[in-house]
Amino acid sequence: MIWSMTTNAEYVRKSFTIQAGLWGEVEELVGGGNQSAYIARALQRQVERDRLDLLLADLEAANGPVTAEEIDAVEREIA
C-alpha cells in the first residue's frame, strides 16, 4: 500500500505560518474543537494526493500519456 494513516502514531510539535484568512476559516469550521486533528487530516489528504500524482507520473513515464479516448472509455464504463 502506498499510503495509510497510522493508528499508533508518534507525534511531533511543529510551528507553521498560515495566512490569517485561511486560519480564520479553520477556526470557523472547527471552532474550539481539535484543530490539530483537523490539520493532520488535511495534511494526510494532501500527502495522498501528492503520492497519487507521483504514481500517475511514473505510470505515464512507463506507458505514455493517457489519451482522451481512454479517459472517455473509462468515464463511460463508470457512469
Q: Name the pLDDT band for 33 (thresholds 50, 70, 90).
A: confident
Residue of 41, 16, 17, 38 lying closest to 27 (CA atoms) = 38
Query: Which CA distances in Å does 14 have to 2, 64, 67?
Result: 25, 40, 42
In this structure, the number of other CB atoms found within 10 A of the CB of residue 23 comes to: 14
Q: What is the pLDDT of residues 52-74, one digit of tens each?
A: 999 999 999 999 999 999 999 99
Q: What is the pLDDT of residues 7-18, one digit of tens each?
A: 567 889 999 999
Average pLDDT taken over every residue of the chain: 89
Predicted pLDDT of residue 3: 47
pTM here is 0.71
